[in-house]
Chain A
């Protein structure tokens, strides 16, 4: 390659090994998000966007939890008339929809959005503007759903919206339409984030970080994002067909005109089962990070761990029919899906054994993050056991649509998702904020949550076996269900208290928590090499990586990259497998175009619920916004030209 005068010019300030104050100040200034209210709309830093994204998902988590509390209040005693059947239907629909689409899947992506660039030694996330766009789309979609609910148009058709119940005949009003478009919002956001993360992981790793040296959390994220690409389109196709049936008179799910109701279930569960793993696989990465750090050694069996993650992802796409055992599908098909459902226990078990081996050989430090991870083992194993029971067709038919399934899914999703997420929160909170969460409050939170969770959900197994159906708004006295329902409600109250303790802990620690320093846990991965919270440009010097857990290894030369512009958003792009340096493109500046485009998209999606023509007229402002986004500004171009060097 030929050096060009622009690139070799001596005037340009560049980063380097010595960290001159002028260069560091220039880096910080080049990468900082703009100030003020308008600056807030223009922000594109992955840390800013991810922090907002995490907060938004946690707000939805609280809202979903409040809805659950209302349901438990209603069910606390038999014959209760606190909440009527219509509102109850809306409550469980909103609860499930919120927890699945607005909390569990996006929160995992949001955490990855924060951590992945820091873990792989990158100054930014790929396509930062598209990343910001996804965030806005997500928030606007969630707000749309809750606005509808507040205005009395909440969906009441279950979080899976089975047809014919969700068809125009049985679900009049706008509730189901709003639900379907909320799906379009959130899945669009999710798929774009998946493209962002995949590109970041393949192309923006620090030099030398081969694929097989990435932290396991990065692997878990990569695998999950590929699953998003293949799973999310199914639910988007399904919800689009549903809204077309409801609004413009198509007949996809209408048996009177050649349509089919089971088609909905196939499409929904082809997404819905992998979705469980979208929630479950990122926590496997949290757990590997936490266990490795608190055992003071690298994870045992790294290749087996990676292969198990990949195997789980593949198997997850062959399980969806086990949600449909109570339909009239051929028995031979059901046997196949039983076998596939049981097979997924194998990669899960391999990972559990690797973690046990890591803990076994390590020196265990019992802190709050590790407590949540250890609870994961207990709860997930219980959920896995009931999962194996439900994977068998005869047993499934017996307890289908009972509280046994409610118990199972909460053991799996809270055990596999929320417990490790809380652990991750305690673990990475110091990195994100610079302060430690209180350990004592953390323990209180943990025990209240652990006990409350089991008191709430364990009795539901028994209730299900005693015949209590899901989604009933009340029940008569004298069926033997009263005591256990009351117990479950008391447990829910305990969970609520534990979450209050958590919120208080966060609020207090943000102001008064102990200062964390760069690496409070003595961990080995790159995010702990930078200050807490990290500077706008993440790394003063891009590290050169020579193995996994670089902070636990002796320093080797070359130690870092030098020569990237310090006064512009220049990043290093490396090769996909071996992370060899390839190019140094200039990243875009903050801009309000993603926000404007998200607004235009929202007008299109929301408008389409009220008139199909909105898809036509609202595409005009959207096109204008997207072209405005793409068209280079004069200053951007000048800066870019100054750094341009042809391949």
Chain B
């Protein structure tokens, strides 16, 4: 943009500016970061509650076998792998390649479906009910919180995917695809400490 003389007062003319931008140039990026800070704090507090209760207990886990590692670990692997299609979707979106973005979002959805299916198995192999004791309560809380994020982000990805197929699409929606991937990174990153607490801490 330039400053041009248009009659007497000189002005800052902005008509040539783009109507959207990626990353920190977009409001959506800031909104997503804000939500990540809130939810990151929630996860952090959840982990603190777990460690606090563990610190108070004589033996841990309380009257229960530790959760089976099988499904939780499988899911960790699936989640880490899901970073790859998300990264591809993000890159395609930022190149404004609609067909590729569409394709990679669909791959993301396949991963999300796999993840949610394995998550239901995870709940069956925790070896404790939330009503048994405080240990059971906090394990279910952590897993429940994270699952809520998975479900919402899956629905989110699905709706975005549908929009990419729709006639209502416009290029600024590529920004949403890019931020959706950023949020998915966060959901993956926040899983790792939760995995460590839920599955590994009882073994120590």
Contacts and interface: CB of A to CB of B under 8 A. Distances in A.
A632 B30 contact: no
A230 B44 CA distance: 10
Nearest to B39: A233
Contacts of B7: 17-18
B17 A645 contact: yes
Contacts of A266: 52
Given A573-B25, A641-B170, A17 B134 contact: no
Contacts of B96: 646
Contacts of A637: 168, 170
B18 A647 contact: yes
The size class of the interface chain A forms with chain B is 35 or more
B15 to A, nearest CB: 3
Interface stretch (A91-99, A243-251, A377-385, A528-536): A243-251
Contacts of B155: 623
A254 B132 CA distance: 11
Interface in A557-583: 557-564, 570, 572-573, 575-576, 581-583
Interface string A535-568: 0000000001000000000000111111110000
A233 B130 CA distance: 22
Contacts of A563: 11, 13-16
A582 B21 contact: yes
Contacts of A248: 130-131
Contacts of A575: 25
Contacts of A645: 16-19
B130 A126 contact: no
B18 A558 contact: no
A16 interface: yes
Interface string A623-647: 1000100111010010011011111
B49 interface: yes
Nearest to A266: B52
The size class of the interface chain B forms with chain A is 35 or more
B53 A263 contact: yes
A1 B18 contact: yes
Nearest to B44: A233
A236 B53 contact: no
Contacts of B163: 631-632
Contacts of A634: 168
Contact of B131 (A203, A207, A241, A250): A250
A229 B36 CA distance: 10
Given A236-B42, A263-B52, A646 B134 contact: no
B30 A233 contact: no
B150 to A, nearest CB: 14
A418 B138 CA distance: 39
B50 to A, nearest CB: 11
Nearest to A250: B137
A229 B49 contact: no
Contacts of A250: 130-131, 134, 136-137, 140-141
A48 interface: no
Nearest to A632: B168
A640 B170 contact: yes
B4 to A, nearest CB: 8
Given A233-B41, A576-B24, A584-B19, A646 B171 contact: yes
Nearest to A555: B9
B37 interface: yes
Contacts of B45: 233-234, 237, 267, 270
Contact of A581 (B14, B35, B168): B14
A586 interface: yes
A563 B41 CA distance: 41
Contact of B141 (A236, A241, A623): A241
A267 B52 CA distance: 11
B38 A583 contact: no
Contacts of A3: 16
Among A270, A583, A630, chain B packs the most CB atoms within 10 A around the CB of: A583
Interface in B74-115: 96
Contacts of B49: 237, 241, 252, 263, 267
A251 B134 contact: yes
Interface stretch (A107-115, A190-198, A333-341): A190-198
A230 B37 contact: yes
Contact of A560 (B9, B17, B137): B9
A198 B27 CA distance: 10
Sorted nearest first, the 5 A-B pairs with minimum C-beta distance are A563-B15, A195-B34, A250-B137, A258-B134, A562-B11
Given A8-B15, A252-B137, A576-B24, 10 more contacts: A1-B17, A233-B38, A233-B45, A248-B131, A250-B137, A252-B141, A557-B3, A558-B12, A581-B17, A631-B159
